[in-house]
With several copies, the nearest count.
Chain A
Amino acid sequence: MAKSPKKNQIDEDLVRQLSSLLEETGLTEIEYGRDDWHIKVKGGVQQAAVTSQVQNTTTAAPTPAEPAPAADNPNAITSPMVGVVFTGPDPEAPPFIKAGDEVKEGQTLLLIEAMKVFNPITATKTGRITEILISNGSPVEFGEPLLVLE
């Protein structure tokens, strides 16, 4: 077996041999070295299938559902319910807040209408609205980010 491989030449049999050794031994990694050369092989990690499956099944699906990216921004205020979001008390009135506004904890920022009931979304802390992620009258899912308060 493994005689020292010639300059810059991969000894494929050596790699294959080590790979079948992985198979056989159940090891996940083998590193082997000689004075003037060394080799290291790693076996597969189970995880793999998952993520790729996710991508692929999603491809296969006509219209994949996007998980609500709530987690994306720790400062994002997310919707506590599915409904329609309103930026002001009524269509004519100006919005409660706009990007850049300083707001006080407890201050009403938006309304979410569900089952004819208007639920106020209030500031979780005193701070500044850096971004508004929704538009007036748009439907929102549970957990959907509405705006960013920093």
Chain B
Amino acid sequence: MFDKVLIANRGEIALRILRACREMGIKAVAVHSTADNNAMHVRLADEAVCIGPPAAKDSYLSTSAILSAATIAGVDAIHPGYGFLSENADFAEMVEEHKFTFIGPSPDHIRLMGDKIAAKKAVSEVGIPVVPGPDGSLKDAEQARATADKIGYPVLIKATAGGGGRGMKVVESDAGIKEAFDLARAEAKAAFGYDEVYMEKYLAQPRHIEVQVLADNFGNVVHLGERDCSIQRRHQKLLEESPSPALNEAERQAIGETVVKAVKKLGYRNVGTAEFLYEDGNFFFIEMNTRLQVEHPVTEMVCGLDLVREMIRLAAGAPLGYEQSDIKFSGHSIECRITAENPDTFQPSPGKIGDYHAPGGLGIRVDSGLYSGYTIPPHYDSMIAKLIVHAPTRNECLMRLKRALGEYVIDGLDTIIPLHQRLIDEPDFVNGDYDIHWLERFVEGKKTKPG
């Protein structure tokens, strides 16, 4: 097992990883920008190294700064968290070249899954259902039009290097094809410095359902059930739950087994998530995330495993030690992402936390680096806390979540807690009757009414 691990991230996930290290008796080294000198994970770390100025590209995205810090601190392994360098295959490779262990999948798998077209091809070859569409990129608008005619409108044009909805365009009819193609290219170029785009069938009202897997270095793979992440705005997840209100036991097992089989065939290791669109009982692969995900806690609550602990164990070469039949699911869990944004206008609201009081009691979990007096730096993501609730049934879970949201005090800035409070009162949501477009419609509707 490792003696010392460097956490190449910030915010709540850095704290999450630090806590797992603590509980495993592993020394945790925090790296941070000057903007994060007072961050909770920095304060609680066994060692902390300032690696650069606030701008992420010079700190949290600086492979050289992070590897220098790892060398100086003499760590055994590096946990990348999510975002930043977590899905950067070159970084994972450099980490291994420097004789550190990268806590995550192999660089090759990260690279493969990072290329949306190659990934789609690869997973479909191992039996994972994909969205209808050619498995090549589009060279021009003409080819785009031809392809669209083949698979039928509406279609979606996506950046090959995609992610987070940038470089993504829906085309309803022949008329809009050229403009959408050019726009998608431009956005892709801007966002990823790389303008290759491809096309797939656009689904009208799908849910976003993803399957979590764990794999050791010896070919043992288990799935930990699914997460329903359909509550999204601008392709950003806001609330996730497990199990999905839309799946029955048979569907759950079927998709789980399909993913496990595929992951085995790919020789994939450590942690991963296969994201799907789900419509009319069919799953369509979107992408494979080769990292820990923001919403991993809902899976931890229902299956009783500590995913970060497992990632570290597996990276250290330990075998899974359990089989699919040992994974027992109990109860229901929901996670609310709490961002520092105005709940109506979504204006980012960085600043200094006045009073801070997290909810407590049975079935409540808060993952957050916030504390009274902490100043949220404007340079990074607006997510400042995750409220995770667990209960025996979805209904009790909703009641508990409502109770907890009411107790949460985050003073001094706007948060989207009021939006969460409104949406969990909506009959559609209570009935689990929502798709990936539901929240957008809900937010628009609400805006017209008095806040």
Contact = CB atoms under 8 A, between A and B. Distances in A.
A26 B69 CA distance: 32
A33 B248 CA distance: 73
A60 B64 contact: no
A102 to B, nearest CB: 31
Nearest to A46: B354
Interface stretch (A77-85, A88-96, A126-134): A77-85
Nearest to A53: B373
A26 B355 CA distance: 14
A53 B50 contact: no
Given A141-B51, A142-B51, A114 B68 contact: yes
A46 B356 CA distance: 12
Interface string B358-397: 0000000000000111100000000000000000000000
Contacts of B32: 65
A54 B38 contact: yes
B27 to A, nearest CB: 10
A67 B406 contact: no
B330 interface: no
Contacts of B373: 49-54
Contacts, number: 104
A64 B44 CA distance: 6
A90 to B, nearest CB: 19
A13 to B, nearest CB: 17
Nearest to B48: A65
A52 B34 CA distance: 21
B50 A141 contact: yes
- Among B43, B68, B409, which residue has the most Cβ atoms of chain A within 10 A? B68
A56 B34 contact: no
A142 B43 contact: no
Contacts of A26: 352
A23 B354 CA distance: 11
A120 interface: no
B407 interface: yes
B286 interface: no
Contacts of A81: 52, 64-65, 68
A65 B42 contact: yes
A11 B399 CA distance: 51
Contact of A115 (B68, B371, B374): B68
A62 interface: yes
- Among B40, B46, B373, which residue has the most Cβ atoms of chain A within 10 A? B373
A68 to B, nearest CB: 5
B72 A139 contact: yes
Contacts of B44: 61-62
Nearest to A144: B50
Contacts of B49: 82, 141
Contacts of B37: 65, 67-68
A57 to B, nearest CB: 6
Nearest to B46: A63
Contact of A82 (B30, B68, B372): B68
B440 interface: no
A53 B372 contact: yes
Contacts of B407: 60
Interface of A: 23, 26, 46, 49-54, 56-65, 67-68, 81-84, 114-115, 139, 141-144
Interface of B: 30, 32, 34, 37-38, 40, 42-53, 59, 64-65, 67-69, 72, 352, 354-355, 357, 371-374, 406-409, 411
20 contacts: A49-B372, A50-B373, A53-B355, A53-B373, A53-B409, A56-B409, A57-B409, A60-B357, A60-B407, A61-B44, A62-B44, A63-B46, A65-B50, A68-B37, A81-B65, A82-B68, A115-B64, A141-B50, A141-B51, A142-B52
